[in-house]
Each structure stands twice: as C-alpha cells, then as structure tokens.
Chain A
Amino acid sequence: MIEVQGLTKNYGRLAAIKDVNFRVESGEIVGFLGPNGAGKTTTMRILTCFSPPTSGTALVLGMDVRKDSLEIRRKVGYLPENAPLYGWMRVKGYLEFVARAKAVPSNQVSPEIERVAQAVGISHVMGQVIRSLSKGYRQRVALAQALIADPPLLVLDEPTIGLDPKQIREIRQMIKGFARNRTVILSTHILPEVSQVCDRVIIINKGSIVAEDSPSTLTQRHGKSPRVEVLVRAPAQELMSFLSNLEGVTSVHPPSRLPQHDGIVGAAIESKRGADLRALVARSVVEKGWDLLELKTLDVSLEDVFIDLVTEENDDRAAQEARGETVI
C-alpha cells in the first residue's frame, strides 16, 4: 500500500524528517507516534501529495508521490491537523463541494454525501453553518470529507486532538469501523489511542523512526523492568530503606497516585528484568511485622516505552553534541 524509502524533507537548513523508511500493508491501521515537531505531519503531507519530499521515494498504491500526484490524491482521504473547514459554508454545501472536487459523478453526489454523513453521524446537522458546530461535530465533518469518494487509504493527522473524552471514544470507534475495508494511517501523541486502535506503531522522534512494531511487542521488547507496587502500614523512611536493600531490587520510590496517611505507605519497587519480586517482598514485609495491605505488579505501558525511546534518543544526541559532532 505504502512504501517509503530514504524519505527526507528539509525546510531551509532544518531537516523535518531524515532518511525515513517504512512500509504499510493493505488493510492495516498504523499509528504514527511522536512528540510535537517529530515529523509526523511532514510525513503525512508527503504521503498526501501536499508537499514533495526533498529526497527519497514514497510510493502510495504503487505510484510515486512526485510523478502521479493527481492520481494518488484521488485515492487518499486526508484529515489535516485541526480539521480546517470553511466556516461560512453549510455542512451539506461543503460536502457537495468536496464531492465535486473529488470528481464524484454528479448523479452520485447526493447518495455519496448521505452515505458519509451516516457513517460519521452528522445527518441531523447537514443544514447547519459549519462555524456554528461544536468542535466534535466539526471533527466529524472533517472526517466525512476525508471519506468522500471512498478512498482506499485514509491519512488522519491527530484525529482526536482537542476533543472531550466521550468524543475521542466515538471518533476512535468510527476510525476502527472505517478500517475494515481500507488502510488507515493516523498520527497522535495520545498513547492509549495507539494501543486501542492501531495494529502497528511507528514511533518517530526528531525526524527519524526510532521503533516500529505492534503495540504489544513494543511494550515487551522495549519495556522497562517489571514493577511491583505495595501498600504497607509501616514507618515511611524505614520501609523505603528496607525495600531498597532487598535482593534484586534496583530502585524504590513512592508512587505519586497512592494516598499516604494513617501510617500507610505506598512504594513502587523496580527490579532487574526477568525477576519476580512478589513472593520475596510479601514474605519480607510480613516477617518484619508490618501489615501488607496490597501488592500488585504493574504492566509496562506503551507510555513508558515511548518516553524511554524518545529520551534515549535525546540523551544520544546530547552526548553527540557534547562531543562536538554535528547533528543535522
């Protein structure tokens, strides 16, 4: 579906992305994950033929973005960041304009608009002026325009940004629904979105791809060491130093989200990779005569992986720069 090789885009002397390679198979939902300014939007703009790459090749449906721009644009539905729309238009008029712009045959414009309006649930606001719609509905209208002409590839740039949790959930459900018979690329910096929606994640940072895999494999492979969280009735200081001295423990810190009162203290314990500390911790705490109120293992989240990858990369660069090497 998409094949990207050595893709580089420079804005003046600044490289927005450099030497990016990836493939997307037909029918996949792929998430682009990265902090702001990582190059997600730039990559998407190249794939949607808005902006040509400085070097490298990007093939969409087997066509080159440089040579077959118009043909690719016919096959791609694009939702840019912040869902730009013509505020003065009515929803129906706007979708009619998009249908004409995407060369939908005139006798199919109405059924096509009805189809997408139903798919994104905007049938009852078709007569409204876009400016008067809530952010959630505007996002739906923007999604609707991307779906017009039934493109086999959808490129969605931060489709849930600025929405409330309920709307985010609805949009996600919709995206999953659309993906049944098409390929979807979406960018986001909201991590749960990726694990909930995407088959595969491409993590991009400072213009380069730092990891690429399914969300579950990523968490396994790049995850931090396992963690155990305990809740104990004990003197705080003493508990901390006691736990840190246990065998296999690498660090102990108070978890921010647990309440600490009435002498009840929480602690998050990190261990070496592969070690299971649960039994040891339980036994030692009880032997010490303290009350063990709670003990659980914490799953490594994609967030940890992401922060890890992104910060590792930063450290590398910092080190490189410190050594006086030039970093483009």
Chain B
Amino acid sequence: MRGFYAIFHKELANFFVSPIAYAVIGCFLLVSGFFFWANVSFLSLLSLQASASPMFAERINMTDVVVRPFAQNMGIVLLFVLPLLTMRLFSEEKRSGCIELLLTYPISDVAVMLGKFVASLLVVVIMLAGTVPSFLLLLGLGSLDWGPVIGGYLSLLLMGGAFISLGLFISSLTENQIISAAISFVLALLFWILSWSSSFTGAQLGYIISQLSILEHMDSLNKGVLALSDVSFFVLFTAFFLFLTMRSLETHRWRG
C-alpha cells in the first residue's frame, strides 16, 4: 500500500510539476467550453423559434439540447487528450532507465501499475470537475434533470479509466512516447467508432460489434440509465488492459 502511495504521489507530482497536466487540462477545458457555448447558443436559438409555436416549445428541453450533446462532446475531447496523458507513463521510465530502479524497489508490479493508473484517473477527475460550473450556469436558465448529468459524468469517468488502462498498456510496450500516444489514440478511436460498422454487417456480428463499442455504452449512461451491462463493460475493458499491462511488465523483466 505504501508502495502504491509512493508511485501515486510521484506520478501526480510529475503531472503537475511538469506542465503536462496544465496543458492537457487547459486544452480540454478550452475545447469543451467552446462546445458548451455552442450547445447553449443552439438552445437559445431553438427557444427563440419555439416562442412562435407552443407545440414545438414543449418538446425542447435542456437535457436533450445541452446536457447530453455536451457529455458526448466532452467524450470526444477526452479521446484526443487522454493519450497525451498516458503516453509517458511507462515509456519515459523505459527510456530513462528508471524502470530498472522502480522494479527493484520492494513494490509489487501491481502497485506500480495501479499507482500510475489512479494518478492519471485523478487528473481526469480534476479535468471533469472543471466543467461542473457549466452545469451550474444552466441552473440559471431553468431546472435541470440531474440523472443524465450524473450519468454523463459517470460515463466520462468510466471511459477515462478504460482509455487510461489502454494507454498504460501501450506505453508499457514502447519507450517512444510519440508511438505510445499515436497507437493509444488510434486504438481508442477504433473502439469509439466501432459501432458505425454494425449497420452494414450481419445481425450477429453487428450485435457483437455494437457491444464492443464505447459509444453505445456511453450513450445509455448519458440518458441517465444506469445499466449493469454498460458499467461492467467499462470495468472489464479497464481490467483487461490492466491485466495486459501486468503481463507486459513481466515480459520486460524477462527480457531484462
């Protein structure tokens, strides 16, 4: 446990001592802020048009026009910035040779990996926390259905965990940070867009593909529906890549 804390503390310090965390969080907030503004502007445009027809006005609500699209947009921005967060986790240790010291301290490989994983996840939490004021602003416009808001954040957090574990694994394979970031991004993107292909594959394959797609699982959480299948998908996804990372570290030991 102390070993885990040592690694966690060091990784967090690295994020915030070097400008990585500030750059990544800054970029994320800038772009998601833009999306929020665009969504709210769209809502005000719709409201203006709806003032002419009461029928139409009844169908407009904040959840559909702002909250859910905003959560989806944040997901896309996360997809872009997470590889930048995870690319150095093991790659840097490998390139500098520090991994040799790290793996000879009395810390289990699991604790090393989890320390890095949790530190990165905390950066994601801080990043997402930066968008909470946006929702508070919405309260000024009207009442808010909190289900989709909480579901949206949960889905982003789960997706963050999944992509961090994926990035952690890729970073454990290479000592080149650019390669680590590029491959993590492409793989994450693939999991993201997988569901697009389900419409032109056969029914059975289509079902499997859509079950593997991150977008599908996020969507139902975004609606405020907390389904076990969606949550367990992300948990299993994360656990699978953490497991692969363990194996990768073990291989690194064997190769010396």
State whether the Cβ of A42 lies closer than 8 Å to any Cβ in chain B: yes
A 71-111 to B, binary, CB cutoff 8 A, 1 in contact else 0: 10110101011101111110001000110111100000000
| Residues of chain A lying within 8 A (CB to CB) of residue B104 | 48-50, 73, 76, 78, 80
CB distance from B87 to the nearest CB of A (A): 16
Q: Are A50 and B9 in contact (CB under 8 A)?
A: no
State whether the Cβ of B168 lies closer than 8 Å to any Cβ in chain A: no
Q: Are B98 and A84 in contact (CB under 8 A)?
A: yes
Q: Are B101 and A145 in contact (CB under 8 A)?
A: yes
State whether the Cβ of B89 lies closer than 8 Å to any Cβ in chain A: no
State whether the Cβ of A278 lies closer than 8 Å to any Cβ in chain B: no
Measured in the bound complex, the distance between the Cα atoms of B104 and A70 in whole Å is 8
With A86-B96, A100-B6, A145-B101: A9-B256 Cβ-Cβ less than 8 Å: yes
State whether the Cβ of B59 lies closer than 8 Å to any Cβ in chain A: no
CB distance from A154 to the nearest CB of B (A): 12
State whether the Cβ of B7 lies closer than 8 Å to any Cβ in chain A: yes
State whether the Cβ of B13 lies closer than 8 Å to any Cβ in chain A: yes
Tell me the residues in window 91-106 of chain B with beta carbons closer than 8 Å to chain A beta carbons: 96-98, 100-106
State whether the Cβ of A51 lies closer than 8 Å to any Cβ in chain B: yes
Measured in the bound complex, the distance between the Cα atoms of B256 and A16 in whole Å is 11
Q: Are B97 and A89 in contact (CB under 8 A)?
A: no
CB distance from B23 to the nearest CB of A (A): 15
Measured in the bound complex, the distance between the Cα atoms of B14 and A16 in whole Å is 35
Residue of B nearest to A47 (CB): B104
Residue of B nearest to A16 (CB): B256
| Residues of chain B lying within 8 A (CB to CB) of residue A84 | 96-98, 100-101
Measured in the bound complex, the distance between the Cα atoms of B14 and A86 in whole Å is 9
Q: Are A42 and B256 in contact (CB under 8 A)?
A: yes
Q: Which residue of A9, A49, A85, A100 contacts B9 across the interface (Cβ within 8 Å)?
A: A100
State whether the Cβ of B5 lies closer than 8 Å to any Cβ in chain A: yes
Q: Are A86 and B6 in contact (CB under 8 A)?
A: no
Q: Are B106 and A45 in contact (CB under 8 A)?
A: no
Measured in the bound complex, the distance between the Cα atoms of B256 and A42 in whole Å is 8
Report how many residues on chain A are interfacial, defined by Cβ distance under 8 Å. Answer: 33
CB distance from B172 to the nearest CB of A (A): 15
Q: Are A87 and B96 in contact (CB under 8 A)?
A: yes
| Residues of chain A lying within 8 A (CB to CB) of residue B256 | 9, 11, 16, 42, 45, 50-51
Q: Which residue of B18, B97, B255 contacts A11 across the interface (Cβ within 8 Å)?
A: B255
Q: Are A80 and B253 in contact (CB under 8 A)?
A: no
A 100-132 to B, binary, CB cutoff 8 A, 1 in contact else 0: 111100000000000000000000000000000
B 1-40 to A, binary, CB cutoff 8 A, 1 in contact else 0: 0110111011001100110000000000000000000000
State whether the Cβ of B254 lies closer than 8 Å to any Cβ in chain A: yes
Q: Are A80 and B2 in contact (CB under 8 A)?
A: no
Q: Are A100 and B2 in contact (CB under 8 A)?
A: yes
Q: Are B106 and A78 in contact (CB under 8 A)?
A: no
State whether the Cβ of A52 lies closer than 8 Å to any Cβ in chain B: yes
B 126-138 to A, binary, CB cutoff 8 A, 1 in contact else 0: 0000000000000
Measured in the bound complex, the distance between the Cα atoms of B254 and A79 in whole Å is 19
With A52-B254, A101-B3, A103-B2: A82-B101 Cβ-Cβ less than 8 Å: no
Measured in the bound complex, the distance between the Cα atoms of B254 and A97 in whole Å is 26
Measured in the bound complex, the distance between the Cα atoms of B5 and A49 in whole Å is 22
CB distance from A20 to the nearest CB of B (A): 15
Q: Are B253 and A103 in contact (CB under 8 A)?
A: no
Residue of A nearest to B105 (CB): A101
State whether the Cβ of B65 lies closer than 8 Å to any Cβ in chain A: no
Q: Which residue of A16, A50, A85, A103 contacts B106 across the interface (Cβ within 8 Å)?
A: A103
CB distance from A161 to the nearest CB of B (A): 13
State whether the Cβ of B178 lies closer than 8 Å to any Cβ in chain A: no
Measured in the bound complex, the distance between the Cα atoms of B17 and A114 in whole Å is 24
Tell me the residues in window 103-121 of chain B with beta carbons closer than 8 Å to chain A beta carbons: 103-108
Q: Are A98 and B13 in contact (CB under 8 A)?
A: no
Q: Are B6 and A101 in contact (CB under 8 A)?
A: yes
Q: Are A73 and B98 in contact (CB under 8 A)?
A: no
Q: Are B103 and A50 in contact (CB under 8 A)?
A: yes
| Residues of chain B lying within 8 A (CB to CB) of residue A50 | 100, 103-104, 253, 256
Q: Which residue of B3, B14, B100 contacts A80 across the interface (Cβ within 8 Å)?
A: B100
CB distance from B76 to the nearest CB of A (A): 31
Q: Are B254 and A51 in contact (CB under 8 A)?
A: yes
Q: Are A85 and B98 in contact (CB under 8 A)?
A: yes
| Residues of chain A lying within 8 A (CB to CB) of residue B105 | 73, 98, 101-102
Measured in the bound complex, the distance between the Cα atoms of B18 and A52 in whole Å is 34
Q: Which residue of B6, B13, B106 contacts A70 across the interface (Cβ within 8 Å)?
A: B106
| Residues of chain B lying within 8 A (CB to CB) of residue A74 | 106
Q: Which residue of A78, A80, A88 contacts B17 across the interface (Cβ within 8 Å)?
A: A88
Residue of B nearest to A75 (CB): B106
CB distance from B28 to the nearest CB of A (A): 22
Measured in the bound complex, the distance between the Cα atoms of B12 and A93 in whole Å is 13
26 contacts between A and B (CB under 8 A): A11-B255, A42-B256, A50-B103, A50-B256, A70-B108, A74-B106, A78-B104, A82-B97, A84-B98, A85-B98, A87-B96, A88-B18, A93-B13, A97-B6, A97-B10, A98-B105, A100-B2, A100-B6, A101-B3, A101-B6, A101-B102, A101-B107, A102-B105, A103-B2, A103-B3, A145-B101
B contact set with A: CB distance below 8 Å = 2-3, 5-7, 9-10, 13-14, 17-18, 96-98, 100-108, 253-256
> Top 3 A-B pairs ranked by shortest CB distance?
A84-B97, A100-B6, A51-B256
